[in-house]
Amino acid sequence: MRKYFAVKALFTAVIAALLVSCGGGGNEYTTTSRGTGWDVTGKNGGFELNTKYKEQATGPGLVFIEGGTFTMGRVKDDPMHDWNNTPNQQHVQSFYIDETEVTNGMYLEMLDWVKTVFPPEDEEYRKIYDGVVPDTLVWRNRLGYNEEMTKNYLRHPAYQNYPVVGVSWVQAVEYADWRTDRVNELILNQEGYTAKDALANQEAGSTFNTETYLNAPTLTYGGDDEKLRGGKRSQSLEKKKTAKAAKTGDGTGEASGLYVTRKDGIILPAYRLPTEAEWEYAALANVGNREYNAIRGRKKYPWDGQYTRSGKRTTRGDHLANFKQGDGDYGGVAGWSDDGADITAPVKFYSPNDFGVYEMAGNVSEWVADVYRPIVDDEFNDFNYYRGNQYTKNKIGPDGMIAVVSTDSIPYDTLSNGKTIARALPGQIQQQPVDENETYLRTNFDRSDNRDFRDGDAQSTKYFDSKDALRDANKRMYNSPQHSVEADSIGKLDRQYDSSNSRTTLINNQVRVYKGGSWRDRAYWLDPATRRFYPQDMASDDIGFRCAMSRVGSKAKKTKRARN
């Protein structure tokens, strides 16, 4: 009998081992190639894969959102008669989104970094700092007294945990780019790849950029080798190389593993603005009314129910978001404030939704990545929907190397409101539109700029047979005003205002979607399906933003629960 059980146990162990070796675990990583059987741990200088990788780490401030299918668009009525949020079914991949809106304190951190690295008292860098400072004049009202908000809202410590406002879409994108670099720079420093003091005493010509590090690491920090390879891990690898050379006499080449690459899985994907589909999906949080693979009814707000007031015994009657309840009513009467605020409220003031994300309704509306169009073209695409793709590639210089922006080649743009911003900062890789080398005979894309695709390009207008349709202001699909601002050699602005009375719309490729109701809005706008647009280079006192990050790898962090 004992022999029988011993044989049975051995048989079970062998079968289990075979299942694992055949990939039965799905995400199991092995130390030998599934294709050739060769070792893939990099021993003896061979091919190397990260066989210990588990899953993407959650970046600072982010919450994981498991992707899925949802109905994007209107739930109930359309009293605005915009006809711009017709219901359509979309699928969103898993991603991460900020737990709260970006606060004044978070934004001030970037301002301090920019001011330190690109001091505005230096004429060469003044436009860089001026270009990222929020517009505090958004608080002014011709028939209202808000001067203390103009002076204090951004910088006073009383407001450091309030959502930042006065930030244009362009500035929000710049913040996300800056945040990406600072987070990944810290990761490399903590992992011991860069010098301990690499985070301090940065100068304009020696800053860190994630894409530059991944594509041309020796150009990072302005080529400062002490910063780039001065960490404990890098020094340890160099010592091993030196010791090996002393034994074998082979002192050629560089120690391997000095620089992190994408295949190491250490560098996080970029922070960015969420797409409209991602934002609406995260706001609805249908995970709270899910039963197996079905949704029990559609939600009107980020919380359950059809009302904006709490039904819980301890908070009954209190509003669940910060919004305008009626004419002249921004927060109830003295001694009993319905929503606890009159302007914005501190982040995490209200309860989170079922994804654990705060203030997806009320407080401030939020920029999303998309260019605005009245329709969502679900007939062409229903997976990770996004309008705004402008494909670029790294520019290669005359020397055949990647071209990096230097302190004397900073590109600037003059916005329609006359403000000047830096399009790229020193240390970043110069970009150029993709060309025929990338688009020829492709079926998935055929151009660099896709903002007009199927809704604004020549093929989608009634003048589709005219090659000059897009150039002719009277034949464009969206006949919006064409203002222009140019700066001369001494910096004087030449503003050309389009005063034509034949314009029929404000829609063009420079207007972006913003979502969610704000402290200035009525309850209708708290519905995540509602959508509005605003010029990307302008700001408001009721529009803020939060960042997102793509999820790489598995869709879920854990397997489905048992059905029974």
Tens-digit pLDDT profile for residues 58-72: 999 999 999 999 999
Q: What is the mean pLDDT of the chain?
A: 87
**Lowest-confidence segment of 8-22, 190-204, 451-465 by average pLDDT:** 8-22
Residue pLDDT, tens place only, 372-424: 999 999 999 999 999 999 999 999 988 888 999 999 999 998 888 888 899 99
What pLDDT band is residue 28 in, cutting at 50, 70 and 90? low
Whether residue 269 contacts residue 57, with contact meaning beta carbons closer than 8 Å, is answered with no
* Res 469: pLDDT: 62
Q: Inform me whether the pLDDT recorded for 557 exceeds 80.
A: yes
* Res 23: pLDDT: 39
Residue 129: which H helix or E strand, with range?
A: helix 126-132
Q: Identify the three-state secondary structure at position 303.
A: coil
| 552-559, long-range: CB < 8 A, 24+ apart | 552/56, 552/269, 553/55, 553/56, 554/27, 554/55, 554/94, 555/66, 555/67, 555/93, 555/94, 556/66, 556/94, 557/55, 557/64, 557/66
Q: Identify the three-state secondary structure at position 99.
A: coil
How far is 197 from 228, CA to CA, in rounded Å? 11
Q: Residue 1 contacts by C-beta under 8 Å, 6 or more apart in sequence?
A: none
Cα of first residue to Cα of last residue in the chain, in angstroms, is 37
- Plot region of 408 (φ>0 → left; ψ -120 to 50 → alpha; else → beta): alpha
Whether residue 546 contacts residue 102, with contact meaning beta carbons closer than 8 Å, is answered with yes
The encoded tokens of residue 466 equal 């005219």
Please compute the mean of the pLDDT values over residues 130-148 and round it to a whole number.
Answer: 96
**Where are the chain's structural domains?**
1-52, 459-508
How far is 356 from 351, CA to CA, in rounded Å? 9
Per-residue burial over 195-204, b if 16 or more Cβ lie within 10 Å, else e, is: beebbeebeb
Q: Inform me whether the pLDDT recorded for 75 exceeds 50.
A: yes
For helices 169-190 and 104-117, angle between their N-to-C axes, nearest 10 degrees: 80
The encoded tokens of residue 270 equal 């970029």
| 306-309, long-range: CB < 8 A, 24+ apart | 308/523, 308/526
How far is 3 from 542, CA to CA, in rounded Å? 77
Beta-strand relationship, 365-371 and 543-544 = parallel
* Res 14: pLDDT: 46
Radius of gyration of the chain (CA): 27
What pLDDT band is residue 109 in, cutting at 50, 70 and 90? very high
Whether residue 70 contacts residue 90, with contact meaning beta carbons closer than 8 Å, is answered with yes
Residue pLDDT, tens place only, 168-199: 999 999 999 999 999 999 999 999 999 988 99
Whether residue 325 contacts residue 340, with contact meaning beta carbons closer than 8 Å, is answered with no
Q: Residues of the chain with pLDDT > 70: what percent?
A: 89
Q: Inform me whether the pLDDT recorded for 8 exceeds 70.
A: no
How far is 364 from 345, CA to CA, in rounded Å? 9
Identity of the residue numbered 444:
N
What pLDDT band is residue 24 in, cutting at 50, 70 and 90? very low
Structure letter (DSSP) for residue 163: B
- Spacing of C-alpha 369 from chain mean position: 8
Q: Residue 289 contacts by C-beta under 8 Å, 6 or more apart in sequence?
A: 295, 296, 297, 299, 304
| Range with the largest mean pLDDT of 12-16, 72-76, 150-154, 467-471 | 150-154
How far is 349 from 288, CA to CA, in rounded Å? 20
DSSP β-bridge partners for residue 512: 371, 534
What pLDDT band is residue 240 in, cutting at 50, 70 and 90? confident
What pLDDT band is residue 253 in, cutting at 50, 70 and 90? low
CA atoms within 13 A on the CB side of 2: 0
User: Dihedral through CA 548, CA 175, CA 434, CA 469, nearest 10?
Assistant: 90
The encoded tokens of residue 376 equal 């969502």
The encoded tokens of residue 99 equal 């737990």
- Spacing of C-alpha 362 from chain mean position: 21
Per-residue burial over 306-317, b if 16 or more Cβ lie within 10 Å, else e, is: eebebeeeeeee
Q: Inform me whether the pLDDT recorded for 254 exceeds 70.
A: no
* Res 15: pLDDT: 46
Structure letter (DSSP) for residue 77: -
Q: What is the 3-state secondary structure (H, E, C) of 373-433?
A: CCCCCCCCCCECCCCCCECEEECECCCCCECECCCCCCCEEECCCCCEEECCCCCCECEEE
How many other C-beta atoms are found inside a 10 Å radius of the C-beta of residue 24? 10
Whether residue 486 contacts residue 494, with contact meaning beta carbons closer than 8 Å, is answered with yes
Backbone φ and ψ of 351, nearest 5°: -70, 150
The encoded tokens of residue 230 equal 């001065």
How many other C-beta atoms are found inside a 10 Å radius of the C-beta of residue 118? 23
